[in-house]
A and B are shown apart, each in its own frame.
Chain A
């Protein structure tokens, strides 16, 4: 019987002999050091940065919805009461939707900064190095620009967060943020190839974004040279990009690819829920947001082609947005930049800087003609400005443009009847409470 005892003791002691037994590594994650140490790792990390555009706080949902909801295209008709605050332009600093926009854009910035921080130490072909660096700079500029538009002068991040030493950072001035965005895009424009698959940034994506950035900056500074740059960049995209206006407006939402300068692509595994949020209950949707009655009224009779591609009515005669249709799989693309915008950017930059009326009309009419509308006959700048504003409203309904349009042109107070200070969203409470150098926007 003693044998049994010895066997037990021997078994028991075997558990003591293993020295490294507490050293267990995760199987679902890898350490930061191993993650990015070769060209493949860099490529995966860049892909991970693009992935953040999928976020619900990004083009995956809320940056699309908020633009039209905070403005006058959409109304809140659902259950998520944080949307109500946005609809009423009375946003609390703890609003989860706004928090998500902030967080998602900074997530993207941190991901690309990790790549930019490490890429110099990794050997790879020059083409690859240019491509990944260009991708990183484009995404960083896009995220900084979105943050700038929604929150004002925000902290510029050009270094990755590796530990806690850099997490407290003060706001930068609006001018500094613009400088950073323009510098990043100007480099990206040189590094990126002219042609990329859908969903990935090309040199023309960078140019197109630069056009938008210059136009926005012009409205802020009134500096005519900046407007000229916007005109130049838009012109380069129109002239050299090889993009073609989709023959029919409805094609844009039925698989046309010729007009897309930059878009976010989705698939069944990485889906958006835009259609579910737009679709009415009778079609199993959530109907969180719906086209506001005034918008429907002004749109439906004057602009039939675009209206019919944008808004439909269900069996109860409730209007709902239909630019995102795939409520089952959520694979609808989300446009970030497309050719029509370049024409309208050029037209707007010229209209605000007393450009040639005919040229302005020509650009507007490219968009109007495609929509089956008569050419514009607007003859003076104030009128043209309003025509452009309305074109944009109809052309880009539910495409993440309306709020930025009204804020950029300082028309938000007039059109929406809100206090100008509320054209900036509140800095999220979570950031304010943890970043001891952060300050809140006025009015919150």
Chain B
């Protein structure tokens, strides 16, 4: 009887549903390529927001009207629409989207298929990042992409790099690309207050590269103009890892290594005997190699653990990282502890909430750097071998001109502690047919605390009876984005992808800085014990940006692709008369390979022609640069005072770069050879110029929009599979040329004599040429340096200067070759820069022939008596001349990695999915004619882009040997 009741109930239920015309539909969703079940696929009743998702086994069931159309969609797969037609079971096979349209790429505020991109966009995915042993973000990017140059300011742990895309669009404003993590622009640049001169901090080092799923580098206006006034230098979009669906992966990576300064790169110096002969001193029994005294072999270690898991509704990614990089100069190191949680949850089939947060704590032990007489490295290079480290009493010897570097390295305390939290929460709501509304809220909190103390056992500390500094920097950037997107394909031909959005950002920064002297005891190193507070300040800065943007993409049969983008940016930085800037861009791509006449040719897989035109902006000017201001702190005789600090310029605005680009993507022989080729011409106008004005006005400069410059260039990316048998060999090659030229300046007045090497900006020349005296050599009769008297007036004056060099390279290139056989893999990464000049400012002192500075061994060949023919003078002078200009071209064997992946059968028994062991040499060897320690360094001469290619006792990059293990459970 019970059965009958049940049957009756069931029938009545069925009857009820028949009235509503709903029937139960169920089925299995599998991947077309390997028939594996697909969990988490969205199944929607077309035209409604009702639906479900498939379960862990790929099964789904729902009630749907018998005449409905079901829409099956999944990220990375082609969406399918299937009419119910009274069927109760509908099994579906979904194909990978990239079969048709290539892998998905995150672009500004949306995701798109690689093949439908009409601009210049470069992608670096997880696999490529994973194979680079460098554990900082900018280190990962170095040499990997065409057109993005990354020059280390210094090889010190956690040190800053100078990034520049396509030659740099600006002279005085920032050239730093905009960095966006999971849709949230983050704080970059240097905020350290304790002056480290050349060893500044870098906010980018706080991000663990292992958390990155992909990096997209947006290079031209078609891709970047959706970021408007901050897009001129390109945009780097970072997407962090999400949890996996239906499985749990635990990944553990460990590496350990050693770093040193390549011995062959150190500059040979005079021995004590040489010095005695040179100076007429007579010091016996001492021959100190000061570099040996301060250089150490430094360990480095990295441990990363991550868990990725999830089901059809919930996904979770958790990671932790400990990174420890010792410094090769005694007293330096960098430690980073970081963690990340990313989670998302599908509340309804069409409603997802999610978020992520990355937390970092880092501890940077530093020493003073380049342009200081208190840095271990410059001091070690500058002290002659005749001085001992310790005097006869066992105390640090301080009788030499420069402070004892060993004392500084051992005793000076200099710490920077960073707390960094970058997080976001979002909601994604799909409605009607094809509409998605996304709202995202993000924060970036960057707290930096600096503590420094020079005890009386150092010369600096002794001078002040102890010198202590405390600095704090609290910066936050809060972002709100709202985006409405509509995607639809009409008649299976016309595809539309349109979005409009709004974004609001508020940046706040608060700093304090206190400096005290006269400490009673070296154990009391905090300022509460200071006898005298010498300097104290606290500052506040707020900045707001409010923006609206829209993008419309259309393609016809995936063949003709049009993109139009526009953004309006309002910024509190801009002058009264120009609060909002507008940045439109358009692009067109033609996938010729879709045309019938090319489809016939089977060896051509892809041929796409691209053209772009658009405007982008650069708002990297100082805050309040448009206002006429008085500053405080001009105190005298116990009274507080004020003084004018800035002239007003109410018209001040962003720089505008007009970008024009042409390119093609070509892929043949089953994609074994792919070639991307780009040509571009970028012209920047309204250059933000700290225009020098006569200082007889009481001001040095005024911020103004004057001047134009251009960058034109070519980029090639060539990826080939050379051998694809049991032995495989692949090559990734990138090549970039850029030509930079200043087109106009205010009344074409040059910006002259910047930095140590006489860098200059002049119309008709690239930014930052070296401009100085032309040294003709050493006069054999007097031993003095002779300079060319260009104007022939008999005396050497500033009018006798000329262009002596150009720090901009003719081309840059990178090449990675990967060889693999069975379970072995060998990867070799080479990087080359060609045709750039370096001003070797170190030699101003080390080949001066005068004073107390240690001299290079080459100075043993100096002029000694009339008739000597030599290039080294009896005594140098302070002219910034061609004498110090050297060719900075180099070829670096950046990385060699040999790895062995254990056989799956072996590791399966101990519960592992995979296991790998590898050994790496980073910066293995440098081929160069440059006589300084490293051709790849740049003295940090301030925030300007003008001072490039200047070496001044700069910390070279280190050579690193690493062994590592990675496991996947």
Complex formed: what's the CA distance from A93 to B572 in Å?
40
B788 CB–A CB distance under 8 Å: no
A24-B572, A271-B534 given; A167·B697 CB < 8 A: yes
Q: Which residue of A lies closest to B518 (CB)?
A: A328
CB <8 Å contact, A30 and B750: no
Q: Which of A78-86, A204-212, A253-261, A386-394 contacts B (4 or more CB under 8 A)?
A: A78-86
A435 touches B797 (CB 8 A): no
| Residue B942, interface by CB 8 Å | no
How far, in angstroms, from A49 to B635 measured CA to CA in the complex?
9
* Cα of A27 to Cα of B572 in the assembled complex, Å: 14
Whether, in the assembled complex, A197 has its beta carbon less than 8 Å from a beta carbon of chain B, the answer is yes
User: A residues within 8 A CB of B536?
Assistant: 269
The distance from the CB of A428 to the nearest CB of chain B, in whole angstroms, is 7
* B639, CB-defined interface residue at 8 Å: yes
For B572, give its contact among A22, A33, A34 (CB under 8 Å): A22
Interface residues of A in 399-444 (CB under 8 A from B): 428-431, 433-436, 438, 443-444
Q: Are B693 and A434 in contact (CB under 8 A)?
A: yes
Q: Which residues of B contact A53 (CB under 8 A)?
A: 636
A302 close to B (CB within 8 Å): no
Task: Report yes or no: B697 in contact with A110, Cβ–Cβ below 8 A.
Answer: yes
Contacts of B463 in A (CB 8 A): 276, 284-285, 327-328
Cβ A21 vs Cβ B518 within 8 A = no
Flag the segment in A100-108, A356-364, A373-381 that touches B: A100-108
Residue of B with least CB distance to A199: B637
Most buried by B among A154, A160, A164, A327: A164
In angstroms, how far is the closest chain B Cβ from the Cβ of A40? 10
A269 touching B695, Cβ below 8 Å? no
Which B-chain residue is minimally distant from A32 (CB atoms)? B628
Most buried by B among A21, A27, A269, A328: A328
Interchain nearest-CB distance for A112 vs B (Å): 10
Please state if A4 and B353 are interface contacts (CB–CB under 8 Å): yes
- Binary per-residue interface labels of chain B (838-867) against chain A in the complex, 1 for a CB within 8 Å, 0 otherwise: 000000110000010100000000000000
Q: Mark A88-131, 1 if CB is under 8 A from B, else 0.
A: 00001110000100110011011101100000000000000000
Most buried by A among B536, B570, B628, B634: B634
Closest CB-CB distance, A54 to chain B, in whole Å? 7
- Are the CB atoms of A24 and B543 closer together than 8 Å? yes
Query: For the complex, is B284 an interface residue (Cβ under 8 Å from A)?
Result: no
> Would you give the 0/1 interface string for A146-162, flagging 1 where the beta carbon is closer than 8 Å to chain B?
00000000110100111
CA of A27 to CA of B627, assembled, Å: 13
A147's nearest neighbour on chain B, judged by CB, is: B696
What is the minimal beta-carbon distance from A42 to any residue of chain B, in angstroms? Answer: 10
Tell me which residues across on chain B come within 8 A of A23, comparing CB atoms.
572
Give 1 or 0 for each of A1-44: 1 = CB within 8 Å of chain B CB.
10011001101100110000111111111111111100001011
Question: What string of 1s and 0s marks CB contacts (under 8 Å) between B423-461 and chain A?
Answer: 000010100000001010100000000000000000110
Complex CA distance for A306 and B429, rounded to whole angstroms:
87
CA gap between A249 and B747 in the complex, in Å? 55
Partner of A52, one of B502, B624, B643: B643
Cα–Cα distance between A307 and B515 once the two chains are bound (Å): 36
State A46–B795 Cα separation when bound (angstroms). 44
Interface residues of A in 282-332 (CB under 8 A from B): 282, 284-287, 316, 327-329
A31 and B643 in contact, given A16-B502, A79-B373, A85-B878 (Cβ under 8 angstroms): no
**A282-B399, A284-B463 given; A51·B635 CB < 8 A:** yes
**Total B residues in contact with A, Cβ cutoff 8 Å:** 90
A173 within 8 A of B: no
Whether B517 lies near A328 (C-beta < 8 A) is yes
Given A27-B539, A47-B641, A21-B546 contact (CB < 8 Å): yes
Complex formed: what's the CA distance from A167 to B647 in Å?
A: 11
Does B171 reach chain A (CB closer than 8 Å)?
no
CB of B546 within 8 A of CB of A48, answer: no
Contact present for A265 and B637 (CB under 8 Å)? yes
Q: A340 within 8 Å of B by Cβ? A: no
Q: Hey, which chain A residues are within 8 Å of B373, CB to CB?
A: 79, 286
B interface footprint on A43-63 (CB within 8 Å = 1, 0 otherwise) = 111111111111000000000
Measured between alpha carbons, how far is A99 from B536 in the docked complex, in Å?
Answer: 28
Nearest-CB distance from B630 to chain A (Å)? 4
CB-CB < 8 A to A28: which residues of B? 539-541, 631-632
Tell me whether B629 and A31 are in contact (CB under 8 A). yes
Interface string of B616-647 (1 = CB under 8 A from A): 00000001100111111011111111111111
Q: What is the minimal beta-carbon distance from B854 to any residue of chain A, in angstroms?
A: 13
A328 close to B571 (CB less than 8 A): no
Q: Kindly provide the distance from the CB of A37 to the nearest chain B CB, expressed in whole angstroms.
A: 11
Binary contact readout B672-706 vs A (1 if CB under 8 angstroms, 0 otherwise): 00000000000000000000111111111010000
Q: Are A268 and B532 in contact (CB under 8 A)?
A: yes
- Cβ of A352 within 8 Å of any chain B Cβ, yes or no, is no
- Decide if A270 is an interface residue (CB 8 Å cutoff): yes
**Neighbour of B502 across the interface among A12, A43, A102, A316, CB < 8 A:** A12
What's the interface size class on A, roughly? 35 or more
Q: Is B920 an interface residue (CB 8 A)?
A: no
- Flag if A199 contacts B636 (CB, 8 Å): yes
Q: Which residues of the other chain, B, contact A155 by a CB distance below 8 angstroms? A: 696
Within 8 A of A (CB), among B637-682: 637-648
With A and B bound together, what is the CA distance between A305 and B541 in angstroms? Answer: 55
Cβ–Cβ < 8 Å partners of B351 in chain A: 1, 4-5
Say yes or no: A21-B544 contact (C-beta < 8 A), given A26-B624, A29-B630, A267-B638: yes
Tell me, rounded to whole Å, the shortest Cβ–Cβ distance linking A47 to chain B: 3
Determine if B692 and A433 form an interchain contact, defined as CB atoms under 8 angstroms apart. yes
Find the A residue at minimum CB distance from B465.
A328
Task: Say yes or no for A250: interface residue by CB 8 A criterion.
Answer: no
- Say whether, besides A22-B579, A114-B644, A79 and B798 are in contact (CB < 8 Å): no
A163 close to B (CB within 8 Å) = yes
Cβ of B772 to closest chain A Cβ, rounded Å? 10
List chain A residues, Cβ under 8 A from B638. 267
A166 contacts the other chain (CB 8 A): yes
Query: Is B636 within 8 A of A51, CB to CB?
Result: yes
- A24 and B544 within 8 A (CB): yes
Enumerate B45-68 residues with CB–CB distance to A below 8 Å.
none
**Chain A min CB distance to B122 (Å):** 32
Contacts of A34 in B (CB 8 A): 630
Tell me the minimal C-beta distance from B270 to chain A in angstroms: 18
In the complex, the answer to whether B542 meets A268 with C-beta atoms within 8 Å is no
Question: Which residues from A are CB-within-8-Å of B399?
Answer: 281-282, 316
Out of B624, B698, B844, name the residue touching A29 (CB < 8 Å). B624
A169 within 8 A of B: yes
Asked if B640 and A47 sit within 8 Å, CB to CB, the answer is: yes
- Please determine whether B427 and A22 come into contact, CB atoms closer than 8 angstroms: no
Would you call B21 an interface residue if the criterion is a C-beta within 8 Å of the partner chain's C-beta atoms? no
Closest to A114 in B: B644
Would you call B753 an interface residue if the criterion is a C-beta within 8 Å of the partner chain's C-beta atoms?
yes
Candidate in B429, B631, B642, B878 with the most chain A CB atoms within 10 angstroms:
B642
Partner among B623, B629, B695 whose Cβ is within 8 Å of the Cβ of A30: B629
- For residues 259 through 279 of chain A, which have their beta carbon under 8 Å from a beta carbon of chain B? 265, 267-271, 276
Given contacts A44-B639, A286-B373, 13 further A-B contacts (CB under 8 A): A1-B351, A9-B439, A15-B480, A16-B504, A51-B636, A52-B643, A79-B373, A79-B401, A111-B698, A198-B637, A284-B462, A329-B517, A444-B797
What are the nearest 7 A-B pairs in CB distance? Answer: A110-B698, A47-B641, A81-B878, A48-B641, A48-B643, A435-B694, A35-B630
A–B pairs, 23, beta carbons within 8 Å: A5-B427, A5-B429, A11-B480, A15-B502, A21-B504, A24-B544, A27-B541, A30-B642, A35-B630, A43-B639, A47-B641, A81-B877, A94-B752, A106-B695, A106-B696, A109-B698, A154-B696, A161-B697, A281-B399, A284-B463, A316-B399, A428-B695, A431-B694
Q: Which A residues are closer than 8 A to B by beta carbons?
A: 1, 4-5, 8-9, 11-12, 15-16, 21-36, 41, 43-54, 79, 81-82, 84-85, 92-94, 99, 102-103, 106-107, 109-111, 113-114, 154-155, 157, 160-164, 166-169, 197-200, 265, 267-271, 276, 281-282, 284-287, 316, 327-329, 428-431, 433-436, 438, 443-444
